[in-house]
Amino acid sequence: MDSSSPQDDSPEQRAWTPRHNGHVSKVTASPTTSFAESKRSPSAIALRAFLLGVTLGASLTLTVVLLQPPLNPLWRAPCFLAALSTFHLLEFYITARYNPTAATLSAFLLTGNGYAYNVAHSLALLECTLRNYVAPRYYTDWL
């Protein structure tokens, strides 16, 4: 019988042992780190997914609002954030769906790409915002 729950209540069987493709691994927490603080923490993963979802929803709403006449060139910034949020959500979803053993906090690719990745995106948003206030006439009407 292939079950992921313990069959008897002996001390040796009290640790829950998930079975995946015939391999058994024990889930234990060290005295210094609890499961909630680990890189597989469901609460930490859920929090990041929730925040990305909120960012996606707010960015899409703001993009639609800014695209209403008169057209505001700042629609590009929330549209960029919506695309970025969608990418990171889908990156984690694909990892969790097709490689569940690698579905950790780093699968969101929010900070795992290095410092330069985050700086580049921050500077792109800053450039879009500053350009709108410093030189708004250089934005093209068609894009």
How many angstroms separate the most distant Cα atoms in the chain? 75
Give residue 140's pLDDT. 63
Give residue 29's pLDDT. 47
Burial level of 90, CB count in 10 A (0-12/13-18/19+)?
Answer: exposed
pTM for this prediction: 0.68
Convert the pLDDT of each residue in 83-121 to its tens digit. 999 999 998 899 889 988 888 888 888 877 888 999 999
Give residue 136's pLDDT. 75
Per-residue burial over 12-28, b = 16 or more CB atoms within 10 Å of its CB, e = otherwise: eeeeeeeeeeeeeeeee
Q: How is residue 109 written in tokens? A: 């690719």
Convert the pLDDT of each residue in 25-63 to its tens digit. 555 544 444 555 677 888 888 999 999 999 999 999 999
Flag whether pLDDT at 80 surpasses 70. Answer: yes
Give residue 71's pLDDT. 81
- Distance (Å, whole) CA 18 – CA 16: 6
More confident call, 74 vs 27: 74
Give residue 83's pLDDT. 96
